[in-house]
Structure 1
């Protein structure tokens, strides 16, 4: 394992420094914003801005890299991220913070895509799974450490803004001095909702609602914890522990989803998340330990949902279209992430701290109801048609390159005109009584009929 990691140690270090800065940046803004008297709605808009920038980064970074190369593009991203956090210190006002947070999201997506592309290129097929696991763990530890660093000094000065900028700049060094050659072009993705819907309606609806709930919590968890009177140390734990719990939960959830209908697994963890939602609203715990326990349960559920849905969609994807499916779902997740903090911010401004979990209750209720209905009207794929569950980084660390890296796909994927269409599946077309399916104008030909098991196309 060590011999597999040594050649990419510089890239892993650069990614760790970037994630440490990102963790500090993501938590200091809501903590400091709350202290400055910003409304929950304004702080929710920070998450909306981040999501807009992140989606834009996923779409536009391949173009930038194609023009200036990987190292220069990474330099641009890290430098602008440092500028954004420093300007957030100078301009302590929501109208400035929202576009600056969007700039951070753009830079973060771009930098992550570049690093993942490099890692994918430098990793052979046999060691790819272990390297991806190491990469995910490094990022998780670094991001959590960046958040927990806020417990080491007062947050009312400039220290953490400057610290974040320093680590963004330090992330430049390992990447700039690496001797590895630049990898192939980055993954290009587009959003084809009709093709994704034909592939799996459950995946489209669920991924949108997961974006709503996860982004709402990720943006406003610290604000909620502060509103109910937790200390700064407890606020940092409240924001970090759910992500750690989500990472651990993916192991048993993945085991189950490979052995039964993934939609049933999704129903189970969504129900668990709904129980935690209602506990936060109805019990309104005030103590540190009770809140951390509930946050752990909540995080274990919500951060295990994305890889289950992604695996379910890829079970039904036509051969060779897995990266396009994953990239398209990521963009839908981004759309949900734009709406989630906005809705939750409005809720918290209107009804108080519980507005956060009222938002997640709505998202999880809709997801649960739709998944149950789809299970009742369509059959699951057979065991032969199912792929393998792949762990995904919890939190804000997913890009189109993540799909290529984790699955072993090449970054040199088909262009939009060449991208293969997804095939219908057991969960893939509308149920009886729904409107007939349409074939997009860019499809290569008539869509084959599904087999009796409702899975992938017949050979």
Structure 2
């Protein structure tokens, strides 16, 4: 496995730096927004704005990759992500944050599409699930570290916005200096969702539901923790423990998906997520320990789903279509991410903190093999 990872080590390191900055960015906005008096609906719209940008990135970034290549495009995504967080530090207003958040969504879609197509270009079917699991694990550990950094300083000032911008800029360095060969130039960049559906309807349907669930939780987990009375440190842990649990689950679940039908592994993860959803809704935990334990189970399940879906779709894809498969799945994921935070924000406004998990349980219950 080491010989498979060495050629992509710079790519993984750059992606980790990007996700560290993304962890800071994703948590500082709801924390600072809550302190400024933003409503749950407007905080949910931050996730919706991000997802709209994400979808647009899936549509337009492949053309940019085709024109200037993978490495230059990755650098552009990192640079614009840094610009977006700095603008939000300068203009602390709901009307400004939502569209600017769409810019960061655009950048993350582009970066993810580039990295995933690059990884698929290097992976073999017998190791694809494990490699994508390691990639996801690295990203989730970095995301957790970024979120936990929030608890170490003042969230009411400029500090964490600046730190996020620094790491966004650093993320472009490893791939820019790497001597490893990048994927071959693209000959076609048009996304084809009907072809993706014919290739793997399971992947398309499942990734839409995962987009709803993961975006709702990623956007509003901090708001849930604040509304049930957890302090700042516990709030950061509540956002970070699911991500860390998801990171730890990647390798064993990826290994299992390489040795049995990936659809069976996906449904097992969905059942685990449903169990956590039900516990949050029926038990309505208020204590720190209960919330963190359930959040760990929830994260271990939901963050394991996407790499399984990507590996399953690529197993059935024609050769040379990795950027189209990755881009198509990311776009469908983004479409789910548009509606997830918006629905969850409305549900939390009407049903209280548990409204978040009323949204995720519907997404997980509708997943089918």
* Counterparts in 2 of 1:311 and 1:91: CA distance versus 1, 3 Å: same
- Equivalent positions of 1:11-160 (< 5 A) are 11-114=11-114, 135-160=135-160
The Cα of 1:73 is off from its aligned counterpart by: 3.1
Deviations 1:374-423 (A, max 9, x none): 7xxxxxxxxxxxxxxxxxxxxxxxxxxxxxxxxxxxxxxxxxxxxxxxxx
Conserved 8 A contact 1:276-1:297: yes
* Counterparts in 2 of 1:363 and 1:65: CA distance versus 1, 3 Å: closer
* Counterparts in 2 of 1:202 and 1:135: CA distance versus 1, 3 Å: closer
The structure with the largest helix share of the pair is 2
**240-249 vs 341-350, which moves further:** 240-249
Gapped runs of 5+ residues in structure 1?
375-459
What is the match of residue 444 of structure 1? Answer: none
Q: Does 1:188 align with 2:189?
A: yes
Deviations 1:334-362 (A, max 9, x none): 21111111110111122221110111122
1: distance between equivalents of 2:268 and 2:118? 37
1: distance between equivalents of 2:5 and 2:309? 30
Deviations 1:1-39 (A, max 9, x none): 777766655444433322211111111111111111111
Is the partner of 2:185 in helix, strand or coil? coil
Q: So what's the TM-score if we normalise by structure 2? A: 0.86
1: distance between equivalents of 2:263 and 2:14? 37
2: distance between equivalents of 1:197 and 1:66? 23
2: distance between equivalents of 1:180 and 1:326? 21
2: distance between equivalents of 1:241 and 1:32? 20
Rg larger for: 1
2: distance between equivalents of 1:69 and 1:350? 47
Deviations 1:91-141 (A, max 9, x none): 1111111111110111223234445566677x5869986876654443332
- Equivalent positions of 1:420-439 (< 5 A) are none
2: distance between equivalents of 1:174 and 1:251? 24
* Counterparts in 2 of 1:80 and 1:241: CA distance versus 1, 3 Å: same
Conserved 8 A contact 1:191-1:331: no
Conserved 8 A contact 1:77-1:107: yes
Give the number of equivalent residue pairs. Answer: 366
Structure with more contact order per residue of length (Cα contacts < 8 Å, sep ≥ 6): 2
**145-154 vs 295-304, which moves further:** 295-304
What is the match of residue 218 of structure 2? Answer: 218
Is the partner of 1:304 in helix, strand or coil? helix
What is the match of residue 392 of structure 1? Answer: none
The Cα of 1:173 is off from its aligned counterpart by: 3.5
What is the match of residue 427 of structure 1? Answer: none
What is the match of residue 231 of structure 2? Answer: 231
Is the partner of 1:363 in helix, strand or coil? helix
Conserved 8 A contact 2:44-2:220: yes
Conserved 8 A contact 2:40-2:349: yes
Gapped runs of 5+ residues in structure 2?
none
